[in-house]
Structure 1
Amino acid sequence: MIPRAIKRLFHQASIGDQSYRFMFRREPADEVVAIDCETTGLNVRTDDIISIGAIKIRGNRILTSERFERMVRPDASIPADAIKIHRLRQVDVEHEAPIRKLLPDFLHFVGGRPLVGYYVDFDIAMLDKYILPFIGIELPNPRIEISSLYYDRKYGDAPPHTSIDLSFSAILADLEIPSLPQHDAFNDALMTAMMYVVLRDKKKRGMRIPRSNSQAVSDPFGGQAILA
């Protein structure tokens, strides 16, 4: 696998649409963007994005007034199993724009800021499927994985054989963050932003999350701050 730093340099040199070179511009050091995508499934190659949520974070402030929230008309029909999860039907998105029409606004919104997410590699892989043919490169933004920040605060000093739960619900509970209706791109991005702010503060203060002696192992996909 090519290291991301080397891939970033390659993308900077090979970007197809020069008007998007701002993606490599250094944004304010204390700004990141929390993102989430709702999709028709978990197969990057065959599934589609049906909604995108993104929120800017500046320092410890979640800028709910600076958000990107869009519904997307997918290329293929939404399968019944996906409808049960995010409650979006084909009729709900059939009049929305295809993702290719939304990409310019999304890319200008995130700029070169690091992208924060829960299993963010999947969201970025889904986005890259459309971004690569659009501007000739994948998203070059640094990535911040919430489950890794949480693991460090709770399990970083754990003894061997400790049971680990990295589910979204476990993180919400441990950080005492209110649970909004999930599988909504904006709500998930907002909860992710709150997780980021709390975990970053705990790291700054050297605080760890207490562990129970009877935790069960959980599939990360199974469990499913300051506002300004």
Structure 2
Amino acid sequence: MLNALRRRLSRAMLADPAYTFLFEAGPPDEVVVIDCETTGLNPRKDEIITVAAIHVRGERILTSACFEAVARTERKSHPDAIKVHRIFDAEARAGRPMRQILPELLRFIGGRPIVGYYTDFDVRMLDRYLTRLLNIRLPNPRIDVSALYYDRKYKGAPDHLMIDLSFASILRDLGIPPLAQHDALNDALMTAMIYLQLRDMARRGARIARDRAGAVVGLGAAG
């Protein structure tokens, strides 16, 4: 009820009616996987450097339906961020302004649920630009693969168990080969593979088994 009210209020605040499609249901059984690389980890101050998105329809990752863009930034990347995404400030300055990229990205997203790894961070970064353009935040439902992974591995685990939700651990546990990380498109593709595998496990009631120390011992049926 509360989410429905927020969506109605957000739609009423929409600055441009050409974007009402954001509030309409996306194509059946489709989601969009999104990943952003940024100048840092502060959504209030930092900026997007690259953004990528991929459609997933049913059990298929539509690699032919990808979105990728390099954004022009005003804020310099933190040195630690450059070590991660390997995009230097000169490259970022050669990109397009987010005000040009965002309308294209929004049309690619449509009304689809947004899937990501720690989805809230990427959405908060996008919302910084969206509020300036349309006076709203993204209204799309969100699916976080780290939460799906937690449910398959740690739900109901003892309180003393050390919980590891790192991207590398998720890939390793699911047997997904790692691509070069901190490339937005590669990260989106790996996240899509994670999403499909965890969704299938949830449907089958399967869990990621642990030994007493918490190490993974294989994929097993829920008991």
Q: TM-score range by the shorter chain?
A: over 0.9
**TM-score, normalized by length of structure 2?**
0.92
Which runs of no fewer than 5 residues in structure 2 stay unpaired?
Answer: 216-223
Equivalent residues of 2:26, 2:110 under 8 A apart = yes
CA pair 99-149 structure 1, distance change in 2 beyond 3 A: same
Per-residue Cα deviation, 1:34-72 (whole angstroms, up to 9, x for no partner): 100000000111110000011000011000110111111
Matching of residues 184-195 of structure 1 within 5 Å:
184-195=183-194
Per-residue Cα deviation, 1:80-121 (whole angstroms, up to 9, x for no partner): 222111110012222210111101100000001000011010
Q: Offset of 1:76 from its aligned partner? A: 1.6
**TM-score, normalized by length of structure 1?**
0.90
Q: Offset of 1:205 from its aligned partner? A: 1.0
Q: Counterpart in 2 of 1:44?
A: 43
Partner AA of 1:94 in structure 2: R
Matching of residue 154 in structure 1 with residue 158 in structure 2: no
CA distance in 2, matches of 1:142, 1:54: 15
Partner AA of 2:138 in structure 1: L
Matching of residues 1-20 of structure 1 within 5 Å:
3-20=2-19
Partner AA of 1:132 in structure 2: T
3-state SS in 2 of match to 1:197 = helix
CA distance in 1, matches of 2:4, 2:44: 25
3-state SS in 2 of match to 1:8 = helix
Per-residue Cα deviation, 1:161-206 (whole angstroms, up to 9, x for no partner): 3221111111101111111111111111111000000000011111
3-state SS in 2 of match to 1:209 = strand
- Considering Cα pairs closer than 8 Å and 6+ residues apart, tell me whether 1 or 2 has the greater RCO: 1
- 4+ long deviations beyond 4 Å: none
3-state SS in 2 of match to 1:183 = coil
Quote the sequence identity (%): 54
Q: Counterpart in 2 of 1:123?
A: 122
Q: Counterpart in 1 of 2:64?
A: 65
Q: Counterpart in 2 of 1:139?
A: 138
Partner AA of 2:156 in structure 1: D
Partner AA of 1:146 in structure 2: V
Q: Give the superposed CA RMSD.
A: 1.5
CA distance in 1, matches of 2:82, 2:144: 27
Matching of residues 186-225 of structure 1 within 5 Å:
186-215=185-214
CA distance in 1, matches of 2:132, 2:3: 19
Partner AA of 1:6 in structure 2: L
Which runs of no fewer than 5 residues in structure 1 stay unpaired?
Answer: 217-228
3-state SS in 2 of match to 1:210 = strand
Partner AA of 1:90 in structure 2: D
Q: Counterpart in 2 of 1:53?
A: 52
Q: Counterpart in 2 of 1:30?
A: 29
Count of aligned pairs: 215
Q: Counterpart in 1 of 2:111?
A: 112
CA distance in 1, matches of 2:2, 2:186: 32
